[in-house]
Amino acid sequence: MPNLFRIALCLLPLALAACGGGSDSTTTSTSAPATTPAPTATTASAPLSLAAQVGDKLFFDATLSGSGKMSCATCHDPNYAYAAPNNLAVQLGGTDMLQPGTRAVPSLRYKEFTPPYADLLDNPDGVSVPGPGGGFTWDGRSPTLADQTSIPLLSANEMANASPADVVAKVKAASYAPLFLQAYGSDAFTDTTKAFGYIQAALQAYQMEDQSFHPFSSKFDLYVANKIGGNMTAAELRGLSVFTDANTGNCASCHYQGAGLNGSSALFTDFSYENISVPRNMDIPANQNASYNDMGVCGPLRTDHLPTSLGAPNAFCGLFKAPTLRNVALRGAFFHNGVIHTLYQLVHFYNTRDTNPEIWYPTVGGTPRTTPDANFPTYGLITTQYTGGTVQKFNDLPAAYLGNIDPQMPLDSRAAGSTPPMTEAQMSDLICFLNTLTDGYQPPANPPTHGTCVD
């Protein structure tokens, strides 16, 4: 974590716990906080522009799909912070609604603050080394929210329209076609390419303007803005301190914006890309093919960074975007491949990926133990204990790219069997803190004085 970042964070009253000693873990990672406009909460009552009103209609219109059954909101449900309303790793789409995706659905909240992707994005703190950052989707291949819309509208396993012209024809036939003409002019449908561009612009305008995409109404926001009486609880404040402490959770080093931090504007991502080598998810049908590897920035969905660059393994392989952690408690599937299903499991993955790889990655050649050790963890992805065999650590990354794995805490490659960085109590507090990032918080009339996430 750069020093300037620590200073900025310490300006937050609630972060004081995070501002004691502790050594700075400045490692050689690819982490690159990005320049981004200072986010501000827009007023709830600001009326939508005509373009955004069209975007609102488009976003919820299931006729804009090959199946007639799928809108943007099918996968990006407003009741789940515009992420998936279920715990499936990937969603089903396509003309028959049976075609599986290859990645988990991200939340669309707070995305409008994302700068376009750059291999060497400048770091606003002026300290950290520039690195890959910005852009939309898990691999940053879309430069703008408008550009991004062509992916779901045209992908055969998502909304599966036959062509941009197909989409335009459907909008022309929609009940809101007059609104579209009002927004873009009476000849707006004449040129198909232009009309498709208007559709993309309208979807972007809706996501940028509508308050529901950036409500800043979590307990964390209300607390920082002094809008709830009293404190966050003791447990939540301890959790924040684990989140920022470079020697335990260190989450802030990738999931916090370094500069421009004031009050509730914290976005809980620095838009950077790292390789943390999450386990392969065999629930994704594409992964049944052993030669298929989703390697994020180096493809296959993204095509401008080839796996081999100048004869050497490309350093961009296996990098995925560190997503915002706002509303993360509403998710049913975590990471780009949705392999993790609860926050409890997720923080344990960060804590024990290196100390207990056998509970996260498959073992080959071993013999299942008939009576496992009583203390063999049950929260991992692998619950069978083996005698002998080899753990296939980092099993979703071809060996040539192992050098790309980020060495930052808490994933610091410590030895198997050694003590993990966080205690159970610290992880429990960390989860309490992550739960304060869910929007729509209503302070209870009589706040509990004891209980989970309170004491």
Q: Please, are residues 360 and 381 in contact by the beta-carbon 8 Å criterion?
A: yes
Closest CB to ligand HEC among residues 12, 255:
255
Q: How far is the CB of 348 from ligand HEC (least distance, A)?
A: 10
Q: How far is the CB of 400 from ligand HEC (least distance, A)?
A: 18
Closest CB to ligand HEC among residues 123, 137:
137
Q: What is the spatial distance between Cα 429 and Cα 447, in angstroms, rounded to a whole number? A: 18
Q: How far is the CB of 445 from ligand HEC (least distance, A)?
A: 31
Token duo for residue 378? 């049950």
Q: How far is the CB of 58 from ligand HEC (least distance, A)?
A: 7
141-172 b/e (C-beta count within 10 Å ≥ 16 → b): bbbebbebbbebbbbebbbbbeebebbbbbbe
- Which residues have CB under 8 Å from 118's CB, separation 6+? 34, 132, 133, 134
Q: What is the spatial distance between Cα 122 and Cα 116, in angstroms, rounded to a whole number? A: 12
Alpha helices in 245-304 (DSSP H): 252-255
Q: What is the spatial distance between Cα 386 and Cα 368, in angstroms, rounded to a whole number? A: 4
Closest CA to 25 of 325, 246, 282: 246
Q: How far is the CB of 143 from ligand HEC (least distance, A)?
A: 11
Closest CA to 218 of 449, 455, 439, 442: 439
Closest CB to ligand HEC among residues 137, 436:
137
Q: How far is the CB of 155 from ligand HEC (least distance, A)?
A: 8
Closest CB to ligand HEC among residues 131, 386:
131
Task: List phi, psi (to 5°) of 272.
Answer: -85, 165
Q: How far is the CB of 26 from ligand HEC (least distance, A)?
A: 12
Token duo for residue 59? 């976003």
Q: CA torsion sign, 127 to 269 to 267 to 455?
A: negative
Q: What is the spatial distance between Cα 277 and Cα 318, in angstroms, rounded to a whole number? A: 7
Closest CB to ligand HEC among residues 237, 386:
237
Q: How far is the CB of 373 from ligand HEC (least distance, A)?
A: 26
Closest CB to ligand HEC among residues 91, 123:
91
- The tally of CA atoms less than 13 A away on the side-chain side of residue 221 is 21
Closest CB to ligand HEC among residues 350, 386:
350
Q: Please, are residues 290 and 130 in contact by the beta-carbon 8 Å criterion?
A: no
Q: How far is the CB of 171 from ligand HEC (least distance, A)?
A: 12
Q: How far is the CB of 164 from ligand HEC (least distance, A)?
A: 12
Token duo for residue 313? 């393994």
- The tally of CA atoms less than 13 A away on the side-chain side of residue 14 is 28
Q: How far is the CB of 176 from ligand HEC (least distance, A)?
A: 15
Residues contributing to the site for ligand HEC (CB under 6 A): 29, 31, 70, 72, 74-76, 91, 93, 101, 103, 105-106, 108, 111, 136-139, 145, 148-149, 152-153, 158-159, 203, 249-251, 253-255, 274, 276, 278, 301, 320, 322-323, 325, 328, 331, 334-336, 346-347, 350, 406, 408, 410, 430
**Residue found by looking up tokens 């969603």 in the block:** 91
Checking phi first, is residue 164 left (phi over 0); if not, alpha (psi -120 to 50) or beta?
alpha
- Which residues have CB under 8 Å from 170's CB, separation 6+? 63, 64, 161
Q: What is the spatial distance between Cα 426 and Cα 308, in angstroms, rounded to a whole number? A: 41
Q: What is the spatial distance between Cα 76 and Cα 81, in angstroms, rounded to a whole number? A: 8
Token duo for residue 323? 């997503």
Closest CB to ligand HEC among residues 131, 313:
131
Closest CB to ligand HEC among residues 209, 386:
209
Closest CB to ligand HEC among residues 67, 386:
67
Q: Is 165 helix (H, G, I), strand (E, B) or coil?
A: helix
Closest CB to ligand HEC among residues 54, 430:
430
